[in-house]
Amino acid sequence: MALAVGTFHCVHLPPRSRALAITSPLSRDQFDRGDSVVIPPAISLGCASISETFTKLKEQRKVAFIPYLTAGDPELLTTSAALRMLDACGSDVIELGVPHWNPVMDGPVIQRAFERALATGVDVDAIMAMLSEVVPELSCPITVLSYFHPVLEYGVSKFLAAMNEVGARGLIVPDLPLEEAEILRKEAKTKKIEMVFHTTPSTQKGRTREIAKASEGFLYLVKTRQSSPLNIGPPRQETDKPVAVGFGVSEPEHVRQLSAWGADGVIVGSALVQRLGEAVSPSEGLRAMEAHARFLMAALP
């Protein structure tokens, strides 16, 4: 087995990742099928909060690249390797999804990812355990994305405490609108976890303003199918906070367009999840995911 470590071609390679070349013992066993695969270096650096990350990017006039992965798809070990890879590649924030049996907001790709992950028996405890090992090695902050039911089931305080413990910096609960989120917001604040809220092109102005006020880190603009071409103008006018756009972002053309329209960040989910989770082997999946991530990042200004 050949493991080429530390050398890989990444267009956006910020100085922070050109450091040590240490393979994680966790990832070694996974990839011993005679493939040659690149394991990104494991670095131990603290990471900024999501707000701080965006502030820095604004100073540098950069657009954030925010990939999304489903935890446990195809299994947790691969997820941890993928997180390291995306971090090393230059992602600015990484979203990690907690699989749930009722993903009402997700399309077929992520539904399948959830099914695969749940079949491995992954649960919140396992995800937190994985994060406790990986997060110290990442330079970009992790945002956990979970539907409300798993959070409620685990226990709201317990969930937030676990996130705090492992160093996750942000939380998105897609089926928890502002009206239902009061307690969660209060508790998240005490644990210094930033809660990101969604808005959509069809959300009314006054409401977008309220959502933007409440949203921490950034305002997540969900690009619904009907709304193309997307006009970032209206949500942008309602807030000074950074606006990141997600859903259906899969090609460099989308990234270019969104950057041109003034998005502060682009969020890419299914395009990466599919390549990672539906590949013939985890190492193939990691390769394909990384290649596509780089491909998309190359389109950033």
Partner 1 sequence: MESAAVIRRSAIAAAVPAEGPSIKSSPFSRKTPSSVGFLRRHLDSRVSQPKPLAVCSALSMDTAATGALDAVGITLPRPDSFGRFGKFGGKYVPETLMHALSELEDAFRSLSKDANFQEELDGILKDYVGRETPLYFAERLSEHYKRPNGEGPLIYLKREDLNHTGAHKINNAIAQALLAKRLGKKRIIAETGAGQHGVATATVCARLGLECIIYMGAQDMERQSLNVFRMRLLGAEVRAVHSGTATLKDATSEAIRDWVTNVETTHYILGSVAGPHPYPMMVRDFHAVIGKETRKQAMEKWGGKPDVLVACVGGGSNAMGLFHEFVDDPHVRLIGVEAAGFGLDSGKHAATLTKGDVGVLHGAMSYLLQDDDGQIIEPHSISAGLDYPGVGPEHSFLKDIRRAEYYSITDHEALEAFKRLSQLEGIIPALETSHALAFLEVLCPTLADGARVVLNCSGRGDKDVQTAIKHLKI
Which of 2, 7, 15, 225: binder of partner 1 (CB under 8 A)? 225
**CB neighbourhood size of 131 (10 A):** 25
Q: For residue 218, state whether it binds partner 1 (rule: CB under 8 A).
A: no
**How far is Cα 38 from Cα 48, in angstroms, rounded to an integer?**
26
Site string for partner 1, 180-209 (x = CB under 8 A): x-xxx------------xxxx-xxx--x--
Which residue lies nearer to partner 1 by CB, 138 or 145?
145
Instruction: Give the nearest distance from C-beta 29 to partner 1 in angstroms.
Output: 27
> Cβ(115)–Cβ(153) under 8 Å?
no
Q: Does 158 bind partner 1 (CB under 8 A)?
A: yes
Q: Which stretch binds partner 1 (CB under 8 A): 29-37, 126-134, 223-231, 270-278?
A: 223-231
Contact residue for partner 1 among 37, 66, 128, 222 (CB under 8 A): 222
* Of residues 137 and 216, the one with the C-beta less far from partner 1: 216
| Nearer CB in complex with partner 1: 32/180 | 180
Q: Does 27 help bind partner 1 (rule: CB under 8 A)? A: no
280: contact with partner 1 by CB under 8 A = no
Write out the catalytic residue numbers: 95, 106
Judged by CB under 8 A, the stretch of 150-158, 231-239, 257-265, 274-282 that binds partner 1 is: 150-158
Least distance (Å) from partner 1 to the CB of residue 65?
23
For the bound state, the minimum distance from the C-beta of residue 2 to partner 1, rounded and expressed in Å, comes to 40
Residues 6+ apart with CB under 8 A from 229: 257
Q: Nearest 5°: phi and psi at 94? A: -120, 130
CB closer to partner 1 out of 210 and 251: 210
Distance CA 58, CA 39 (A): 30
Q: Which of 48, 126, 156, 214 binds partner 1 (CB under 8 A)?
A: 156
| Rounded-to-integer distance, Cα 274 and Cα 144, Å | 19
Minimum gap (Å) between residue 78 Cβ and partner 1: 22
How many residues bind partner 1 (CB under 8 A)? The answer is 43
Q: With binding defined as CB under 8 A, does residue 117 bind partner 1?
A: no
3 lies in the site for partner 1, by CB under 8 A? no
Please report whether residue 228 would count as binding partner 1 according to CB under 8 A.
no
In the complex, the residues that contact partner 1 under the rule CB under 8 A are 101-107, 111, 115, 123, 147-150, 152-158, 174-177, 179-180, 182-184, 197-200, 202-204, 207, 211, 222, 224-226
